[in-house]
Amino acid sequence: MMGDNLVDLTSSQPEKQLESVARVQDPVNSATLPQLVEPDDLEDDTDDLEDSESESDDSDIFESALTDELERAEFEPYTDDDPGPISYTPVEGKDIRDKLRRLGPNRFIEQTITSGVVGVRKLVTAFGVRPDLPYGTRWYYQILGQCIQRELRRRQKLTEYNTVDDAVSLLQKSKNIMVITGAGISTSLGIPDFRSKNTGFYSKLLARGFDSPEDVFDIGNFDEDPTHFYELAHDILPVTDRCSPTHAFIKLLQDKQKLLTNYTQNIDNIEEYAGIDPERLIQCHGSWATASCRKCHTEVKGDAIFEDVRQHKVSLCKTCLDIIEKQPRKRKRTSNGKSKSRSSHSDSEDDGRYDVPQPGVMKPNITFFGEKLPSRFFDRLTEHDVAMVDLIVVIGTSMKVAPVSEIPNFVDEKVPQIYISREPADHINFDITLLGYCDDVVAELAKRAGWEIKHTNLTEEPLTATPGPKTGQWNIAPLNPATQPASTN
């Protein structure tokens, strides 16, 4: 399994950085790299892109830039259909990446950077990184090392699985199916997803004037001022009396004793209503099922705060309130340590006569930015599921949020993987990609498998499967587009 060797982002020695990458399993040549040099006369390292003496030495900024650009290269890769001397076309970039896999990192670096055939700025464009960023050569060496390591641990598509019927066959024969789900499986219930353009919850927050929608779910911001969350949370309050056909499909896998684990990134807890066994459910980002006091940590059922959420009212801990009510109020001391007399105060509530403790704020037990994921996620994945899984089905998620996004590259690369969603996830090499509304796609799979999904809202319209632009990619849609639902899953 690739990816066990991690490269230090903060290393200040680019040669050693790339040398450590080259020690990743290399079936061709595992010799130590010769010393790397940056030829002065390469046409792609023009004068205006050379290192600046004023380059910041701030390591935090340096590391942050690496992280940001790696993420951008992964999800919004740089492309240049009309390249100049410092970039590759997409086709050329793929050839470069194929060459890396064919040669291994050691010989790849020897035949590119060390030999002087290509400069580092041009080479990184094959991995989606811009060549004209305002950073020096040392920075580019480091990001190249990260790109090489990431490419080598990226799972490759299995060529034997390509069609819709292949997907059906995999579902029928597999006995330990890992299902990874996202917000797309709940949107047919009226629950918005987070990241879809124009319709996602983050888009709504941007429209309301929030510069960074993630700030609403930052634990530090919540503790400082929970009103922002409570003003907006009603939009993502879950339904409690129904589930989608996709939830019912996952329950069907469980009933057929095929479900290994459902890793859900959703916080709506609809899996409970659908009947998913809690022992087979990992709520990666927590859920609305329970809520806890930020002060005394009292835990209650999630629906205990639903009414406050609907009213945009910050929910306070009843346990704290009861304790405060039973405690005698402490008279505040003056600066000389003496209690102020009653006669020395007006009747104003602002005169500070009593030191009244404040109750804690209730927070739904969803994982905010700045909080750790439940340990059960890592324990279940590493100690149980990795050894047993024989099929991965990803439904209704863009797979852009770590660590869930890393699961496809973490399991054995020979385990088949199916992806179901509205838009493709091109940064992961799934074997079969089925594009369409999740409810429609799972209905078609179940129909072809001869299974019955128990749900009242299954589409009755015939569906058609048409091949997409890539091998293994299919579009699933009703024959009559006018019947397409308005949901966004």
Q: What amino acid positions are annotated as catalytic residues?
A: 285
Residue found by looking up tokens 């050569």 in the block: 137
Give the Cα separation of 444 and 477 in Å (integer): 10
> HEC profile for 440-476?
HHHHHHHHHHCCCCCCCCCCCCCEEEEECCCCCEEEE
3-state SS assignment for residue 111: helix
Pick from 387, 445, 449: which is nearest to 415 by CA?
A: 387
296 is in an annotated binding site: yes
312 is in an annotated binding site: yes
Half-sphere exposure of 2 (CA within 13 A, CB side): 22
User: How much is the CA Rg of the chain, to the nearest whole Å?
Assistant: 27
DSSP letter for each residue of 68-109: HHHHHHHHS----SS--TT---HHHHHHHHHHHHHH-HHHHH
Max alpha carbon distance in the chain (Å)?
90
Pick from 119, 122, 116: which is nearest to 93 by CA?
A: 122
* CA distances (Å), origin 74, targets 70, 128, 332, 374, 425: 6, 7, 57, 26, 11
* Count of C-beta atoms within a 10 Å radius of residue 453: 19
* CA distances (Å), origin 17, targets 12, 20, 146: 8, 5, 9
Phi-psi region of 121 (alpha: psi -120 to 50; beta: other; left: phi over 0): alpha
One-letter amino acid for residue 73 of the chain: A
Half-sphere exposure of 44 (CA within 13 A, CB side): 23
Strands 362-366 vs 391-395: parallel, antiparallel or unpaired = unpaired
147 is in an annotated binding site: no
Identify whether the C-beta of residue 420 lies closer than 8 Å to the C-beta of residue 396.
yes
317 is in an annotated binding site: no
Annotated binding-site residue numbers for Zn(2+): 293, 296, 312, 320
Annotated binding-site residue numbers: 293, 296, 312, 320
